[in-house]
Amino acid sequence: QKEVEQNSGPLSVPEGAIASLNCTYSDRGSQSFFWYRQYSGKSPELIMSIYSNGDKEDGRFTAQLNKASQYVSLLIRDSQPSDSATYLCAVTDSNDYKLSFGAGTTVTVRA
Amino acid sequence: DVKVTQSSRYLVKRTGEKVFLECVQDMDHENMFWYRQDPGLGLRLIYFSYDVKMKEKGDIPEGYSVSREKKERFSLILESASTNQTSMYLCASSFAGQKYDTQYFGPGTRLTVL
* pLDDT digits 0-9 by tens, A2-44: 689 998 789 999 999 999 999 999 988 888 899 999 999 899 9
Span B3-30, mean pLDDT? 95
Q: Is the pLDDT of residue B101 over 90?
A: no
* Residue among A42, A98, A103 whose CB faces B48 most closely: A98
* Residue among A1, A32, A102 whose CB faces B98 most closely: A32
* pLDDT digits 0-9 by tens, B56-68: 999 899 999 999 9
Burial class (CB in 10 A: 0-12, 13-18, 19+), B54: exposed
Chain A contacts in chain B segment 73-92 (CB below 8 A): 90
Check CB contact under 8 Å for B107 and A102: no
Q: Is the pLDDT of residue A111 over 70?
A: yes
- The chain A residue lying nearest B50, using CA atoms, is A97
Q: 3-class secondary structure for A7-50?
A: CCCCEEEECCCCEEEEEEECCCCCCEEEEEEECCCCCCEEEEEE
* Residue among A51, A98, A102 whose CB faces B42 most closely: A102
Assess contact for B27 and B3: CB atoms under 8 A: yes
* pLDDT digits 0-9 by tens, B27-75: 999 999 999 999 888 899 999 999 999 999 998 999 999 999 999 999 9
**Element spanning A111, H or E:** none
Could you tell me which residues are beta bridge partners of residue A105?
Answer: A87
* pLDDT digits 0-9 by tens, A47-105: 999 999 999 999 999 999 999 999 999 999 999 999 999 999 999 875 667 888 999 99
Q: How far is A44 from chain B (nearest CA, A)?
A: 6
Q: How far is A66 from chain B (nearest CA, A)?
A: 17
- AA letter at B11: L
**pLDDT at residue B40, as a whole number:** 80
